[in-house]
Structure 1
Amino acid sequence: MVIATVLQRADEPGELLGYWTARYGRRIPKPVKRGIADAVQRLYDERSLTLVTPGLRAVGITVGDEEWDKAAEAFADRPWYAATRAAIDVLTPETPRQEVLEVVDPLTYGRWDATARAHAAAAPGQFNWEAADAFHAPGAFDPQATRAALAAVDAPVLVLAGALDAGPTPARAAEAAALFTHAELSVQPRAGHYPWVDDPGAFARTVAAFLDPAVHTVRAGGVRLAYRVWGAQDAPPVVLAHGRGGDSSHWTRVAEQLAATRRVYAPDFPGHGLSDWPGTYGLGAFRDDLSTFITALDLGPVDVVGHSMGGAAAVLLVERHPELVRRLVLEDAPPLLPLDPPRPEPERPDGPLGFDWPLVPVLDAELNEPDPAWWERLAAITAPTLVVAGGPASHIPQDQLAALADRIPDGRLVTIEVGHLVHESRPQEFFAALKSFGL
């Protein structure tokens, strides 16, 4: 799959890497080699390019039999694997291409479920088999010329691979990414050759983050974190950490004001927004995400502003890594004392969510019975700390927020009586509190 955002439209975009011809039955380029060369030339007019599990013969990258077999062994525990493996072992070079694809279909999806089977069943009718044979014919490609052309492409490129894909494997996809001047590789977990089928949400988040010029990404602890940035690059940095169920865009109004004098960074926590949704969460994990984010971008020591869950993660961060935090702002953050009464088992609301639901019961359990050491270590925090309380309309116990501010040696409390979402409901007052605090 090829996704391109175009500044200048190509006259014949169906020739792009010869893919659309073979896949959708449009006319065969004459010769195919010229179509590929033309397509590469047109990349100079692209704003960005996304290559999804791309075929790489045009650049001379292939997956050998041993590597393919090793990749296929990732499915060895699946109930259909033995029969599929036996069918593969009797294939010959003369076996028709369509029959080969039908045999290996189960190995091309992360999950061989009803959705994958339906997608595979529809595929044969979408191929022009004559064109496919011509596309893969001997001499159709000039890898050396194609590599040279790709190296001259100045557009940003995303190569998206499936962790379970055998063609290309993640290692070969990395080779392809290295052919471009400005390319990044993203490997979608638990996905095969069709990552948009295996996990549409993960696929959409990765591509959307790449295509949005306002969103940046960084790898932190093996997890892809999306983040937004405002302000001059050489201005003093500040990191904004959102609350549960939110994302970096929720900080926009405050960030735009801070950007007059600060370089503002706002990440999406894992399980939120456009970052990866790994499925395992906790306040300690979010603390580590903040730590690796700050370290990966070489921001520390940095001012950190955390709302709600983001504030709790920031507290744990400054307790574990005081050298990373210069000043700390906690906006209506849970004070990490046992909840009384405890929160009941939550029920997932209907419909799609902008965050990964499994994080909710995990965090509720931690807030019901937090680690007592989290509260005890507040007395050792040396960073100047501002606690912003939302007043009686907030669900956070306000007396506990006052106790939180008192326990931190250089802590202070300000109340803006608007409820839990202080920075969104009263951005001007919240910004004024930040400026008074020295941000």
Structure 2
Amino acid sequence: MTRFNTRTARPAVSSPVTTTGHTAPTYEGATGHLRDAKSELFLLAVSNLVSVDTFYEPGAARDDRYERLVRRLAIEDPDWTAALLAWLRTDGNMRTAALVGAAEFTAERLLRQAPGYSRQVIASVLRRADEPGELLGYWTSRYGRAIPKPVKRGIADAVQRLYSGKSLLKYDTASKGYRFGDVLNLVHASPDPDKPWQGELFRYALDRRHNADTAVPPASDRTLTAHRALMALPVGERRAVVTGPGGAERLAAAGITWEALAGWLQGPMDAAAWEAVIPSMGLMALARNLRNFDEAGVSDEVAARVAARFTDPEQVRASRMFPFRWWAAYKHAPSLRWAHALETALGHSLANVPALGGRTLILVDRSPSMFPGYGFSTPNRSDIPLAEQAAVFGAALAIRAAAPTLVEFGQTSTVMDVPWGGSVLKLVERFGQIGGTDIPSAVKAHFDRHDRVVIVTDEQTRAGWLPSNCYGYGGMRETQIDDLIPKSVPVYMWNMAGYKAGAMPSGSGNRHTMGGLSDAAFGLIPLLDAGRDAKWPWE
């Protein structure tokens, strides 16, 4: 009798998020599966917006868990932790978590007198010119004004890379506790030898910090001199710059951002003002201001140019915007003239979502813990809750799958119609809210010989129950995933919130957990389907 050479035989594969075999209850009382330290840190890091309460976990407790894990792994495996933090700030696009992680990584290594790594880790997470000051603000509020050498040197490395005339105008503002000049004073950064202009810029930043009224920008910096000229114009003449020929070019050359333009004009942001500054705005700023454009009456011609940027795959990729940001732009835009471009941009941002063959069951969690309210927010400062983020990813996977069964679930569940080649944005609009989190019941109701199962959730499920005849008497026992889905069928659990206990074992045996707010994790599904091991995203 054939035991192993069967149609369902699959090569054993592994994935990086791994459970230990130990258990603890989920927040809704089911048996939860604990992960090793690296896996727990990864899932928490990709969903943690520092100091933000979640439905089940206060922000302070969440931050403490994150810091303890970083500090532990800074000693146990500094190479892995350094790579995680660098990836987190770049492809992971989690700015604050990366910055806090780098500071705590360094603090622990200094405490243990462990040499190496710290300077490089600090420099690796500083990617924007306001972040050296941000890191100093965190460090001094946590550890006092004494700045250790690795922190100084890592920040100085970043200063050489990031400080320019344009970045000074954008980020060196009076609202900051640590101005560019303060950072330079504290870390003693030298100009980059390959940037001969940087010495004058540094001197100007110091002078501007202490003598704002009399500081004169270096003549060699065209952005700073152009900005000074525009700022010297009488207020009554400034709107003529905006409406006159070459107004957009003059604003861009002087580093006038959309945030600063209204203050410079000392008047309303009408259509002419927006149309002058739109060419120099980044994609994120454009997506967030569509309502303002419509309310100001920006012309269709200019709107078409904005839409063309949204449909450019290179610009969308370069923006590193999370897919749900395009849903947010669509949700808040009052007119439909943006709809097609936003759908296209969302598609570009979901480039890693595979077109899965066979039959795929996709379960999307719509329980209260995935929504804001009940005294807590979700791990997201915007008004786009985890439930809507989950819906974006579930809808995108369903639209591209050959034979999807898309289900929204909570304590009950509903199958959703998936139009072939339809709109992800329109499909997301149809999701609702369902009380409770009951993964076992949703699986029992809808699994029917599917080739794979994808569950997008915070994993905090209630226990499901099955009849038990153990020990010679009837009763009930708690349901596990393996009771409901054959071990030969892969289950991919997409963790949206980074809680400690998960809903199933992970890392092997066709049971795999992924995490993060980008689409990158979906690229692992066809890899694991094909019998190939998955690695950490930076490997």
If the length of structure 1 is used for normalisation, what is the TM-score?
0.30
Higher helix share: 2
If the length of structure 2 is used for normalisation, what is the TM-score?
0.26
